[in-house]
Amino acid sequence: MNFLLKIWRQPSPKAKGKLVDYPISEISPDMSFLEMLDTLNESLIVNDQEPVAYDHDCREGICGQCGVVINGRAHGPLANTSTCTLHMRSFNDGDTIYIEPFRAEAFPVKKDLKVDRSALDKIIISGGYISVRTGQAPEANSIPISNEAVEGAFDAAACIGCGACVASCKNASAALFTAAKISHLAQLPQGQVEHKKRTRQLVQTMDELGFGACSNTGACEVECPQHISIAHIALMNREYWKS
């Protein structure tokens, strides 16, 4: 397969960036999107050119490190798929593919496709934990929890913090990410002690870091690799006003 890649190149955070054309050929349809970028970088290095910088780690859709905007969509054309698990068979031979970094005031570009997503870490640090002394791990059946609560907590905990929700939102809102952290602990007994304080701190920190407000368009849920439901945002809003 042959493609024309139009990739955002920006040498440093304060430098001006631009889209640069890179024709690439003989790409296997079974390659992942990141493997295709690896192939491009190998050819750039051989020709003494600067390789394209981008984030990645596990390449299994687990760690949340990867993430670029592909043809205007966070993580590319498939719903609920991370960039690293997207394959080139999702494109047509001869396609022009636009590849850009996640765009948000709270996600400043570091270089090329790499962005600083530490703002998400700051939201978690502000209160996304429990400080109750748990001691040794209790026996699994000693704290009865309903199956509904367990499933809801697990669904929220599946968030990998990739930032696609922010990149896909027209307001660059982190509401889905923050709501997942709140909902995860709110549904478990261990999270009840600090629930009100945690909810206030996470929401207030999200606002202070420059993320926009949720306008309930649902784009975040569509682009989320883990299919986190926007129902968690409703829970967050309800619990925030109660707190």
- The contacts of residue 10 (CB under 8 Å, 6+ apart) are 16, 17, 18, 101, 109, 111, 112
Model pLDDT, residue 144: 82
Give the confidence band of 134 by pLDDT, cuts at 50, 70, 90: low
Length of the chain: 243
Model pLDDT, residue 190: 82
Domains (ranges, CATH) in the chain? 3-111 (3.10.20.30), 118-242 (1.10.1060.10)
Which three-class secondary structure state does DSSP give residue 212?
strand
What residues does 32 pair with on adjacent strands? 87
pLDDT digits (tens, 9 = 90+) for 150-207: 898 999 999 999 999 999 999 999 999 999 999 999 988 888 888 999 999 999 999 9
What are the angstrom distances between the C-alpha of 126 and each of 105, 129, 183, 194? 20, 9, 15, 12
pLDDT digits (tens, 9 = 90+) for 54-69: 999 999 999 999 999 9
- Taking alpha carbons only, the member of 60, 59, 76, 58 closest to residue 164 is 76
Bridge-based pairing of strands 3-9 and 18-24 is antiparallel
With a cut of 70, say whether residue 135 has pLDDT above it. no
Say what the pTM is.
0.91
